[in-house]
Structures are given as C-alpha cells and as structure tokens.
Structure 1
Amino acid sequence: MNSSKPRKIVFIVSLSFLAFLLGVITGYFSRPVHKDSSQQLLEKLNRDGDWRLLEQFKEYVDTGYIDKVIRDLTRRPGLAGTPQQKINAEYILDLWQQQGLRAEIVQYNVLLSYPKGNHTNKVSLYDASGRELFTSKSHEKVLVEEESPEEVVQPFNAYSPSGIVKGDLVYVNYGRAEDFERLKAAGINVSGKIAIARYGKIFRGNKVKFAEDSGAIGVILYSDPADHTSPGDERYFPGGMWLPGSGVQRGNVVLIKGDQSTQGYPSTNYSYRPGEEEISKRFPSIPCHPIGYEDANFLLGSMVSGKVWQDWQGSLNLTYHLTGLMDNRTVLMDIQNENVYRPIYNVIAKISGTIEADRAVIFGCHRDAWVYGAVDPITGTSILMETARIFAKVYNSGWRPRRSIVICSWDAEEYGLVGSYEWVEDNMKWLQNEAVTYVNLDSGISGNYTFSSRTVPLLHDAVYKSTMALPSPYPHDSTDTLYTDWRSRSETRSGLPHPKIHPIGSGSDHTPFIALAGIPSTYSEYTGYIVDGKVIPMDDYPLYHTRYEQYELVKMIDPGYTLAKTITLFHCELIRELVDARILPLNVRTYAGVIVVNIRQLEKFRADFKVNKVEYAELLASTERLKTAARIFHQKIAHLDHNNPLQVRMINDKLQSVERAFIVPEGLPLRPMYRHLLQSPSGLNHYGGTGFPGLEDLLELPNSNPEKWPQIRKHVTILTHSIYSLAKFLEND
C-alpha cells in the first residue's frame, strides 16, 4: 500500500476547505452594505410625495389623445341602456387595459325611462272648435352631418308619468318656489292648469314638484332665448354656440336619486324590487315635457291675461302674459313614457398604493349622455381618460403612489346618478372605512371664461394649492397661475382674498359619495362664456342636453384644448397631493369657519327660535367649541413628529373621518335619502348647496303646520349634537 495516497487526499480536501472558507470570507466582506430592514421600512413609511412629478405631468399631457377620445365617444348617441353604451364601456376598458391598468366592467340592472314605442310625445294647441292650430316638433332639426341620426331618441323628460291633460296655460317664470309664491300673492290660480316654465336657475325636477304642489295638471319646459342666446348675436349652432329655436333640453325630473327600484341597496341580481305601483310614488304625478323656443313662441303668443312683471319677461318677440289663452283656445299634452329594466355598465380601474394600499382616492366621471353629450360628459370623460393615461405612464416609469387610486367611468348619471349610486351602495362598507376623498368630473369644459369649483370645506385648501402650482391657460405674463387667473375672474370668499368656492350641492356623481357616505368630495371645471372679449352671463352653456351638443361645439369653446390641458393638469396635481401627501391635505379649521359663517345666516330667525323654544344658543356654543377644537387640532399637526408613522396614521384617520361626523342614518327630516346634515343638496334647488339643508327644508314649511317647530327643535338638537361630537373627536388624543 502506498502511504502517500491518503496524505494526498487529506491535502486536497484541506486545500478545498481553505478555498471555500476564503470565498465565504471574501464574499462576506465584499457584499453590498444594506441598511437594517426596519430602517428601510421606516424610510418608506416616512416618504414625502414628490411635487416634481408635476413636471412629468406637463411633459406627458397629450391634447391629441383628448381629441381622439372626444371624437370616438361623440360619433353616436350615448343614451344609457342602449347597445352603444356597452360598446363605449368596452372602449374605455380596452384603453385602460392597454395602458397596464387593472380594470373591470361592473354591471347593474336598473329601471330607466324612455318614450313609449313609436308614440310621439307632443304639446298641441286647439281652437274653441277643437281644430288643431299647432303641435310641437318631435325631433330637433339636423344641422350638421351625423353618423347615425336614427339613433337619436326624441326629446323627453325621463320618469315623467304618461298622461293626456288639457287645459289653460299659466306662465310660472323659472318655476321656483318664489315664483309660485308671487303668482299666489297676485291672485293667479295655478290649480287645474298646465304650467309653462323656462329652464334655468334651479333643477327641473324642483320645478315640476313646485307646480305639482300648486295644483298644476302638467308642466311644459322650454329654453328661453334670454337664457340661451346673446342679444344681437345670431351665431346659432352650427355657426356659433347659441341655441337654435328647435333645440330642446332633455333631463330627468326625479328628486330621489339612484335606481328607483332598489332605494338604499345596489341593483344586483339578488335585490328585492317593489311593484310598479309602489315605485311610481317616487315619480311626479303630473306629466312633464320639454320643447324648443320656436314651439314655445306659439303657446306664449296665445296668452292674453295679466302682463308679466318686468323681471319675468323673456326674449321672445312677444309680450309675456301670466295666463288666459285667446279665443278660448286650449293646450293638450299627450305624453306616453315607459319605465323598463336595462343593464348599465360602470368601468372601474385601480392603481394600488404601496404604503397605505387600504386608503383610496377615487376619481370619476360619467360617460352616458342624452344624445351626443360632447360637453356633458365627454369633455370630462376625455380629461378623466387622459389623467388615467398619465398616471399609468408615470407608474410604468417607476412612480409608486402612497395610497391607492380608483378611477371610475359611470353609466346612467343622466337618469339620476344611477351608476355611481349603485356602486356606492354596493361598496358602502369599504368606502366608509378606506375612501379618503372623491374627485368628480362631469362637464369638464362647459365654458371658456373661468375655473370654477364646487367643493366641501375640508378640501378648499387642496384645490387652492393645486391651482397655484399651475400656469394660467391665458397668461398675461410668466407669473400668472391658474389661481391668479381664477381670482381675477371670480367672486372672492367673504372677507378672504381667495376666489369663491361654491357649496358642493348635487347634480352630479359626487352626490352619493358625500351625501350618502360622507366622503369629502370636489367637482371642478372651466365654465362661463367670454365671446369677442365680452363676458356673457349665463347659468349654463346654451346647448346643454340638446342634440346640438356635438364635437363641433367643443372645438368652438376650446379650439386648441388649452383649457382641457389645464383641467387635466389640475386633476393630476390634486390627485397626486391627495394620494402622496404624508399628512392628508384636509383642513378642519376651514370647515369650522364655514359652519360659523352659515350659523350667522340663521340670525334672522333668532326671534322665531326664541318664541318657539329652539336651543339656538347651544347651537352657537357648539360651533365655537368646534372652531377652538379645530385650531388646537391643527396646532398638534404642526408640532407632530412626522417621522413617527403611527402618529401620522392616527392623524390621517381622524382627518379622514371628519366628514362622517355629519352623517345621520335616518337622513334629513323631509328627505331621508340624503344623510349628510351639512353637505346634502338644497331642498329648493337640487343643483345647489346650502348651509343647513335639513333645517332649510323645515323653515320652508308653513307656520300653520303643527309639526314645523317640534321638528325644527329636534333637528337643531341633532345638528348641535353632531357639531359637539366632532369637537370632542378632535379633542380626544
């Protein structure tokens, strides 16, 4: 046996071991130096949002893409419940998925309203012998080439009941509560007559309700030239943006929003639906129909009794009268509508947050329209789509949001916010726990004069800050911002230098988020008209909800998409701030200040409150306590250890919960479908907001109503309790 062989083996093994050990040692000391994982996590949690992202937004914004979306979605009518709406939903889903967004279509089956079969809804004028003198047109004139004109549904008011009614006319101006009061004071009886009202000032459903309460048997709505044209300017569509005589504004007339058959719950396949008789109680009891001012001219020109007050005179070439048709003429309304169940399609996309994935900023705009809807809602939808595309692009380039972003394309908004209501009801639990804010779009570019915002007080500062970060679309010099331009063209808030932000009100998809779920909401757009350097005062854009709201109109309002680009960048920056700010940009001091101002508006009722034993002094005291609590709370935020993620999360949870303090399960006294004590729509005008909507409803009741003051006392107690509760919540560490 060779004794050197074992020694050789031992040597080789030893050498191999030494080489291995040397490799381990070398590898250990040459490894990259990583921080302790807990330190990495802490740095991630304490990351601030990057405001420099705005420069990327500016670089990425593409007006060509905005134009493409507007063109594509206005080729054919987009009425909810029609096959085209499913095609449009799939179009949006496709684009989002191509951009790398996680997206899905969420379907609901809801009750929608249409003219019945082949029936033509009409308003006719007859002489004393029964001979027909005039009948309203069933369709608006086709003024530009349309791809599928046969798909345009005749003008109608959704959810108007069917009926044939005949009688005298009474002119009720805008059909507001004060208009009916003025007629009553003048001894003009509305009962048993057909009311004719011009569009404007308030929601059309309120006009019908006030007419119904006054005893009218039907309502005719028309667009007066005084509100939809400019004196001396004959540039009617398609030669300009003014309303032609055949243009008719469509719209729903329901005051209860969401699917009419599943109030309070989503319209799913398992939902209980009451019978037709029960559902019909939610609709007006009298028929309503819209006409153009060419047709209204025949009706108003036949009236002879009681010359109207000067401020009631419209711009038709005739003398307006209050009532009484000449030569014993009569007006007949023949309205046949039907309510049918149809599928609707919301499209929902999500970008998940990386630090607080369980907190979400929701951004939405509806997609459906009465006809082509180029302004309402397709300008808003194009901005939503471009904002989503930009966020997808920065995400794909490496940016990761702190919180999640949920992007929503709603269906059936025009029928009473149906798509958004059903989704909120379907997702109420997680929304009330995880939703930070809701950012709404609708008619993103309805005018060319000024930026405008309807926003809850918590979000005022965030809106101001985002406008300050952006250049003006109409700069006079390099220092002009969207904010300075807005301030120069807007009313200022009382006693403050900032431009006026309007109460949130209703009339768009923010309503279920704020008035039902208590999620802070905002809705901004470009609005108002400046033509040939002259500001034209108007409540809304002239072609609103008509056939003529087509692609050509958008190009008249915003020919180079300068405003669309600005509004896109505004929403990019606002959402970035809401998603990435370490401390949520919600200001409770502003909220408390607005409440104090609104309380002062009640001073005129102080004597009535005293006589009827309303605890007004305690309500005043609660607001003062809230004001102090809010000031101290924000002082705590200023001195907070921002590097302590637990303290940051605790503060953010409080801020996120502020709005929910004013949600009451039983809802407002006369309108239980609205649950927010402060941010529900006005009972006199669904479009508008008011300081204390439930209290306003009750104060409008006649003093002869024995329940008026007991209900006011109860409601003031609820208001006082809610304000005190929020103050205590802020005070509690």
Structure 2
Amino acid sequence: PKLAAEHGAIGCLIYSDPQDDGYVRGDVYPKGAFKNKTGVQRGSVMDMPTYPGDVLTPGYGATKDAKRLDRKAAPTITKIPVLPISYEDALPLLEALEGPVAPKAWKGGLPITYHIGPGPAKVHLKLEFDWQLKPAHNVIATLKGTDFPDQWVMRGNHHDAWVHGANDPISGMVALMEEARAVGELAKKGNRPKRTLVYCAWDAEEPGLIGSTEWVEDHKKELQQKVVAYINTDGNGRGFLGAGGSHSLQAMVGEVAGTVKDPQRGVSIKERRSAVNLVNGGKEDFSLYALGSGSDYTPFIQHAGIAALNIGFGGENAGGEYHTIYDTYPHYKRFKDPEFAYGVALANTAGRISLRLANADILPFEFKQWHSTVSTYLEEVMNTCGTMRKAVQKHNSMVDKNIFELAADPRKPFKKPVKKDEIPYLDFTPLQNAMASLKSSIATFSQMDIEKLSVSERNSINKKLMRAEHVLTSESGLPRRGWYKHQIYAPGFYTGYGVKTLPGVREAIEQKDWKEAQEQIMKLANTLKDFNIHIQELSAMF
C-alpha cells in the first residue's frame, strides 16, 4: 500500500494467491493445511519501517496523558484505504483486468491469464474506520535476581491475535508460560537466578508492535541501563530451530542449541539445523539471521540498542492459516505440532538461553563471530556497487549498438531505452579501516584471562558488555526515519519486515543517492570507531 500510494493509487486490495499458500502448495483446509478459497489474511498496513507503535506518539510512550499528534498529521497511517480479500473474491476482479500480460514474477496460481491493467475493471471500495483510543494491556512478571537485581534478562511474546491465534501467538506464549513456571519451581527450591528475569506478555502486537514499543519508549532510559538482553518468541511449530538476533550472542546460542534434543530425530537441534542448511546449499556452521522487524524484539534492538534474539521452530508446519479465522486449535493440533513437542523444545531452548544469561559470571557476548558477520555485510554492499556498475555499462553499450531495437518484435510498438547514469566509485576506505582496527581489538579482547578477575572486576566488565550493543546505534537514526537507531540492522524502507544490513549505506546505494551513500559510509565508520574504543576499553579492564 505504501508503494502504491506513492505511485498514485487511491485504494488497495490485497489477497493471498493460491500459489503462495493455497491449493498450489497442497490440499486446502479442512482436508489439508493450506488456505482455502475464502481465507483472508489480515495484517497491519501502517508504515512500520518509519516507526512502529502508536501512530500518534512517535518516540515516546502512549500513556494516558501523553501528548498525541493530530491523526491527519500521523506519518505512519496509510494514505489510501486498504482491504484484504480472499482469492475467491480476487478472481473476478483479476479476470476483468486487461492491459499487458503480467511478468512471470507477478503471475500466480489462479486459472486465468494475469494482466496488469489498467481497467476496464472497476471496484467500489467502501470502508469504515474506528478511530477510538483503546487501552492495551501488557502483563509483566518479575523474578528478582539474588546477586545483580538491577541487571535484567527479558523474555517476551505477544498475547493478542487477529482472530483465534492458536499458532500466532499462542504457540509461543504457552512455551513462555511453561518456561516461567519451570523457573518459578527452581526458585521455590532455592535456585533463584543471579540476575533478574522479566517475563512479558505484550498486547497490541498485531496492529503495529504497539504494546512492546510503547513500553520500551516509556521506560527507555531505565532499560538501556539495566537490560542484558531481550529474548523474543512468537508463533512456533514442528521442524528446525530458527534464531536471529545480535551476532555478539551467536556463539552462546549455538552452545545452547547443542544441548537441546530435537524431539523427532533425537540429535541436538543444532545438528538438525546444520543438516537442513547443508541440504539447502548453505553452510554447516550455526549462525543467527539478522533481525529486520515484525515482532516485539524491534523496539529493544532497533530503537533502544539492547541486544536481542528471536527464536522459534518451523519448516515442517507449512499452511495457509496465518492471520485468518483458520488459525485455530484444531488446525494447530492437526498440522503444526500435533504432540506439542516443539513447544517443549522452545521452552527448553529459550529457558536455557535466559538462565545462561542470568547466571553467567561473565556475560556470554562474543565478538569474533560478530566481526565475521558484519565483514560479510560490508563485502555485500561493496559488491552491490560493482554489480550495478557492470549492469549500467552493459545497458548503455546495448543502447549505443541498437541491440534493444534489433531484438524487439518489429510488429509491436517500440520505445528506445535511454542510457542510464554511470555508477560512481564510492570510497569505502573508512569502513574497511574501521573493520580492520576492530578485528585487532576483538582479537586482543578474546585472549583476556577471565579466571584471574575478582567479583567486582567481573561486575564492572559485565556492565560494559551490557552497553556494547547500544554503541552500535546513532541518536540521529537512519535517514528519514530517526526512530530506527541501529546502524547494523533495520527493516528495509520498502521491504516491510525484511532486514537491510548496514541499512544507511545499503539503501542509499540502492536508491542511487550517491551523496547520501558517502555520508552514511562516514557515519557508519564513526559508529564502528566508537565500537572499537568500547572493545579496547573492555580489554583495558583486565
């Protein structure tokens, strides 16, 4: 809808094509797991890549007495009316479209020839909106730590749903509740965590991460001082461990994954994850994916600069129930996790991560794997420029040689392409130098002898480790969306949930804004220099 509005659309109808999660994929519900012809996927269409949360209180908590924007001035409210429909309702509209045949990537599984219009089909779209303010109810439970009560390990899952929500979010919520129950039983037996555990059930996640975002915004300063890390879960099902987050936590998550048994195969969930990676052409090594947006980790890592994780299981639980009336207990029991075994696996995994962080003498942040990952991101960005440059050079050469005209059908209208602007050479040296310095500093820090440290020295180092992720943020944020502070990870401006790594630099290059790209290179280099100083200061504490 955002892109449609920018290009002049006055309304938008959204449907899920059967090629994506309907009869092309498998039998439809109730015979199978996939979306039937009446299924309608709901979802938020607010402009979350600009900022999530309450649209009327950008950057500060939507408390009862908070000052609110006028609704017409709220930049993240979609500018055109939007309505989700089923593919049964979409079919006659698509059938009535004429114009050019749709390109291959735009064709779906309906029994028609897909056209892109315009017209002659016409739609009468009438929507009603309820603009009343409603309270959202977060539920926060705290188990105070014995040794470091002002250092918090936070766990969260949202409790609201578009309709029934058996998979999204309840399958993750019940795992969190079971984990909290088990931790409570340990505490009753005298095994309380050293650090405080905070369990959160967020409200209003589906409309735009509202419950978590407003809570983080309202308590931001305190959270930045006290939170070690935030561990998020959401929907969960049968299959393989999926884990994303701050890459300084990658080594620790990999260690934990090696201790949890896969309920179907009897090997560790790490081994099973590695196996499917290899089968799919990936690497055997365990790794975290980068976080974009789409769940309640967003305000913690993207805005407050707090290390975060998002974990869950899936891959063998495909279906078409997402955000529809069919996300029910019977559907979940038949197709998602029939024995609820992966709910137990999720509670085991998240619980061990939480307790590992809560009880560690030295917090398990490891920066070698972080550096390796970010180096890959930098290489990708640099290669993007080279790829774009070669493509433009090839295009312009073909224009000069009339290649497009020679290849065109002479019986159809032909418009000669114009030459494209050449891709300039950007100076990535500041980033390359910053990463080289970081590699050396991280190597020094990794060799430090933890065993010789006193309790007070360890506590001082832990406090500084807790702040490491925050150093990777910039108070001014990303261009045109200052709410997003993190300089390594962000949702793409036009990709919704999808992540953009090194977002300031990458998106400027993709938009061919070369002046901004060079500015963002310098900004990111300065952030990495600050991070280097932080690592050096950690080493100096030994």
| Shared fold (TM-score, shorter chain, > 0.5) | yes
CA 1:690/1:494 → structure 2, altered by over 3 Å: closer, same or farther? farther
Candidates 446, 460, 467, aligned match of 2:250: 460
Pairwise CA distance, 1:561:
0.9
Candidates 410, 417, 430, aligned match of 1:618: 430
Larger strand percent: 1
After TM superposition, the structure 1 stretch with the greater mean CA deviation from structure 2, 270-279 or 458-467, is 270-279
Pair 1:692 & 2:509 matched: no
The separation in 2 between residues aligned to 1:240 and 1:500, in whole angstroms, is: 33
Contact kept, 8 Å, 1:490 with 1:500, in 2: the verdict is no
CA 1:230/1:449 → structure 2, altered by over 3 Å: closer, same or farther? farther
Pair 1:713 & 2:518 matched: yes
- Alignment-derived partner of residue 413 in structure 2: none
The separation in 2 between residues aligned to 1:666 and 1:225, in whole angstroms, is: 43
CA 1:613/1:488 → structure 2, altered by over 3 Å: closer, same or farther? closer
Candidates 292, 304, 310, aligned match of 1:517: 304
After TM superposition, where is structure 1 displaced by more than 4 Å over at least 4 residues in a row? Answer: 491-496, 605-614
The separation in 2 between residues aligned to 1:465 and 1:510, in whole angstroms, is: 22
- Alignment-derived partner of residue 654 in structure 1: 464
- Alignment-derived partner of residue 219 in structure 1: 12
Pair 1:300 & 2:78 matched: no
The separation in 1 between residues aligned to 2:296 and 2:161, in whole angstroms, is: 14
Candidates 223, 228, 250, aligned match of 1:436: 228
Pairwise CA distance, 1:546:
0.4
- Alignment-derived partner of residue 406 in structure 2: none
Pairwise CA distance, 1:304:
3.0
Candidates 108, 116, 133, aligned match of 1:314: 108
The one-letter code matched in structure 2 to 1:549 is D
Pairwise CA distance, 1:604:
2.9
Contact kept, 8 Å, 2:244 with 2:289, in 1: the verdict is yes
Contact kept, 8 Å, 1:245 with 1:292, in 2: the verdict is yes
The separation in 1 between residues aligned to 2:110 and 2:26, in whole angstroms, is: 14
The separation in 1 between residues aligned to 2:268 and 2:96, in whole angstroms, is: 53
- Alignment-derived partner of residue 63 in structure 2: 268
**Which protein has the larger Cα radius of gyration, Structure 1 or Structure 2?**
1
C-alpha distance after superposition, 1:311-342 (max 9, x if no partner): 332111112112144xx442222222232201
Pairwise CA distance, 1:711:
2.3
Contact kept, 8 Å, 2:240 with 2:269, in 1: the verdict is no
The separation in 2 between residues aligned to 1:397 and 1:464, in whole angstroms, is: 29
The separation in 1 between residues aligned to 2:148 and 2:368, in whole angstroms, is: 25
- The gaps in structure 2 that reach 5 residues or longer are 390-421
The one-letter code matched in structure 1 to 2:430 is E
CA 1:493/1:511 → structure 2, altered by over 3 Å: closer, same or farther? farther
The separation in 2 between residues aligned to 1:316 and 1:494, in whole angstroms, is: 31
- Alignment-derived partner of residue 377 in structure 2: 598
- Alignment-derived partner of residue 287 in structure 1: 81
C-alpha distance after superposition, 1:442-488 (max 9, x if no partner): 1123xx2322112221111121111100111112xx5x111111111
2:501 aligned counterpart, secondary structure: coil
1:641 aligned counterpart, secondary structure: helix
1:690 aligned counterpart, secondary structure: strand
After TM superposition, the structure 1 stretch with the greater mean CA deviation from structure 2, 663-672 or 410-419, is 663-672
The one-letter code matched in structure 2 to 1:274 is L
Pair 1:568 & 2:358 matched: no
Pair 1:579 & 2:339 matched: no
CA 1:521/1:491 → structure 2, altered by over 3 Å: closer, same or farther? farther
Contact kept, 8 Å, 1:487 with 1:498, in 2: the verdict is yes
- Alignment-derived partner of residue 416 in structure 2: none
Pair 1:381 & 2:173 matched: yes
Q: Equivalent residues in 2 for 1:493-572 (5 A)?
A: 497-529=284-316, 541-556=319-334, 557-572=336-351
The one-letter code matched in structure 1 to 2:249 is L
CA 1:231/1:277 → structure 2, altered by over 3 Å: closer, same or farther? closer
The separation in 2 between residues aligned to 1:642 and 1:558, in whole angstroms, is: 47
State percent identity of aligned pairs. 30
- Alignment-derived partner of residue 52 in structure 2: 257
Contact kept, 8 Å, 1:360 with 1:437, in 2: the verdict is yes
Contact kept, 8 Å, 1:238 with 1:552, in 2: the verdict is no
Pair 1:629 & 2:441 matched: yes
The separation in 1 between residues aligned to 2:187 and 2:532, in whole angstroms, is: 39
Pairwise CA distance, 1:495:
8.7
- Alignment-derived partner of residue 361 in structure 1: 153
Pair 1:341 & 2:133 matched: yes
1:361 aligned counterpart, secondary structure: strand
The separation in 2 between residues aligned to 1:469 and 1:320, in whole angstroms, is: 50
The one-letter code matched in structure 2 to 1:574 is I
Pairwise CA distance, 1:262:
1.2
Pairwise CA distance, 1:619:
1.1
The separation in 1 between residues aligned to 2:473 and 2:341, in whole angstroms, is: 39
- Alignment-derived partner of residue 482 in structure 2: 672
Contact kept, 8 Å, 2:23 with 2:36, in 1: the verdict is no
CA 1:611/1:379 → structure 2, altered by over 3 Å: closer, same or farther? closer
C-alpha distance after superposition, 1:358-417 (max 9, x if no partner): 111000010011111111101111111111111111111110211110000100001110
Q: Equivalent residues in 2 for 1:381-400 (5 A)?
A: 381-400=173-192
The one-letter code matched in structure 1 to 2:9 is A
Contact kept, 8 Å, 1:606 with 1:616, in 2: the verdict is no
Alpha carbon RMSD of aligned pairs, Å?
2.2
Pairwise CA distance, 1:712:
2.2
Contact kept, 8 Å, 2:18 with 2:25, in 1: the verdict is no
Contact kept, 8 Å, 1:456 with 1:679, in 2: the verdict is no
The separation in 1 between residues aligned to 2:369 and 2:488, in whole angstroms, is: 14
2:72 aligned counterpart, secondary structure: helix
2:37 aligned counterpart, secondary structure: coil
Contact kept, 8 Å, 1:369 with 1:376, in 2: the verdict is yes
Pairwise CA distance, 1:656:
1.3
CA 1:546/1:625 → structure 2, altered by over 3 Å: closer, same or farther? same
Contact kept, 8 Å, 1:440 with 1:524, in 2: the verdict is yes
C-alpha distance after superposition, 1:601-624 (max 9, x if no partner): 122356799986744111111011
CA 1:605/1:544 → structure 2, altered by over 3 Å: closer, same or farther? closer
Candidates 272, 276, 295, aligned match of 1:489: 276
C-alpha distance after superposition, 1:673-718 (max 9, x if no partner): 21111122122312122221122232233x5xxxx33322222111
Pairwise CA distance, 1:493:
11
The separation in 2 between residues aligned to 1:659 and 1:233, in whole angstroms, is: 43
Candidates 266, 272, 277, aligned match of 2:72: 277
The separation in 2 between residues aligned to 1:686 and 1:523, in whole angstroms, is: 17
- Alignment-derived partner of residue 171 in structure 1: none
Contact kept, 8 Å, 1:493 with 1:499, in 2: the verdict is no
Contact kept, 8 Å, 1:670 with 1:694, in 2: the verdict is no
The separation in 2 between residues aligned to 1:232 and 1:626, in whole angstroms, is: 46
The separation in 2 between residues aligned to 1:329 and 1:573, in whole angstroms, is: 56
C-alpha distance after superposition, 1:571-591 (max 9, x if no partner): 111111111111111111111
2:108 aligned counterpart, secondary structure: coil
C-alpha distance after superposition, 1:497-541 (max 9, x if no partner): 3244311111000000000111111111112236xxxxxxx6xx4
TM-score by length of 1: 0.66
The separation in 2 between residues aligned to 1:510 and 1:631, in whole angstroms, is: 29
The one-letter code matched in structure 2 to 1:562 is A
